[in-house]
Amino acid sequence: MTFDYTGKTVFVSGGTSGINLGIATGFAEAGAQVFVISRSADKVAAAVGRLKAAGAEADGCSADVREMDAVDAAFAQCAERFGEIDVLVSGAAGNFPARANDISSNGFRSVLEIDLLGTHHVMTAGYPRLKKPGASVINISAPQAVVAMTGQSHVCAAKAGVDMVTKTLALEWGPEGIRVNSVIPGPIEDTEGMRRLAPTPDDMDRVVASVPLKRIGQKADMANICLFLGSDMASYVNGTVIPVDGGWYLNTPGTALDPVLDMIAETKSK
Ligand code: NAP
Ligand code: COA
């Protein structure tokens, strides 16, 4: 199936690498004009270049989602360049594997502020620029939102919060014709997230073995669900949390990180 996003504007926070850049690229290839933000100006420039090469009108700017003023300024720049937003994807996130006893107050706060407070900033700064009715908002969640996972207390807390923001805003914004949904990626190949959580080939093999479909996910899998959610074909889909993970959530991966955490502990003790 192909989607036509010609003339539509898509804003992607954290859209300069990994899954989010894959999603941005999917929209670019479907004809959308795409605006991306993240902290690194170099990553923004490189991503904008790749999106243009995919055939899109593209732009972006450096902004830290923890800073409301910076996020608001990014939306103002996007609105000036491309007009009102049809699809808003909030994907900026941070993660590192560490047991709760090894996470400092600042470490826990950093992840909460990027993932959860950052989502609030992107939602509320984006809201005045969303097409009403008709906009589709997609928050990028994680399996940790619904499955407790060792070494991930900060991410579990943050992403569970993201999904509750999704559901609450689906209630608040639904009457204005704005749909808000979350997507839960499973393990996705060639991403920073997987490099951090499954650093060795053995770790990756264990992960793939625990996915019922017996394959790692691709960035295109995530782009496809977002292209669907952003389209009229999903016009009655609101307030949902959709796993796109080959059925991974059915095989509770709660202690999957234990070998990685043991390795980290061993490295530290040397
Ligand atoms: P990634 O490439 O590191 O993507 C994270 C993006 O967020 C980067 O563009 C990063 O760019 C940006 N970012 C980080 N902190 C930021 C901040 N404070 N303000 C603005 N932008 C910020 O990682 P990924 O693995 O593809 O993950 C992408 C999303 O998918 C995340 O929401 C993650 O939780 C979710 N997810 C990933 C997997 C997986 O298999 N990888 C599985 C489940 C869920 P800068 O460094 O330039 O800021
Ligand atoms: N184990 C334990 N604590 C860690 C850690 C680790 N592996 N990595 C960072 N921290 C702690 C730091 O020690 C610091 O706490 P402290 O001040 O008490 O020492 C705190 O986290 C913040 O670290 P800092 O590097 O200053 O934060 P930052 O805001 O520059 O970066 C992170 C945020 C830590 C989430 C960083 O990993 C990041 O930028 N991630 C983005 C990319 C990413 O995670 N991609 C995968 C997405 S799923």
Output Rg (C-alpha) for the chain, integer angstroms: 18
CA of 90 to the centre of ligand 1 (A): 10
Q: Tell me: the pLDDT tens digits for 95-115? A: 999 999 999 999 999 999 999
Strand partners, 61: 37
Distance CA 131, CA 8 (A): 10
Q: Where are the domains of the chain?
A: 9-269
pLDDT of residue 253: 66
**Predicted local distance difference test score (pLDDT) of residue 191:** 98
14: left (phi over 0), alpha (psi -120 to 50) or beta: left
pLDDT at 251: 87
What pLDDT does residue 76 have? 98
Q: Tokens representing 118?
A: 């950052």
Q: What is the position in ligand 1's atom list of the atom closest to the CA of 36?
A: 9
Pocket mutation for ligand 2, best pick of 38, 62, 96 (most atoms within 8 Å of C-beta) = 96
What rounded mean pLDDT belongs to the chain?
Answer: 97
Q: Is 103 in the pocket of ligand 2 (CB under 6 A)?
A: yes
* % of the chain at pLDDT higher than 90: 92
Q: Which fold has domain 9-269?
A: Rossmann fold (3.40.50)
Angle at 69 between CA 67 and CA 72, to 5 degrees: 110
If we measure between CA atoms, which residue out of 137, 32, 11, 27 comes closest to residue 77?
11
Instruction: Select from 203, 222, 170, 234 the least CA-distant residue to 19.
Output: 222
Q: 115: CA distance to ligand 2 center in Å?
A: 12
The yes-or-no verdict on residue 252 having pLDDT over 80 is no
pLDDT more than 70, % of the chain: 100
Residues 136-178 pLDDT 10s: 999 999 999 999 999 999 999 999 999 999 999 999 999 999 9
| CA atoms in the 13 A half-sphere facing the CB of 231 | 18
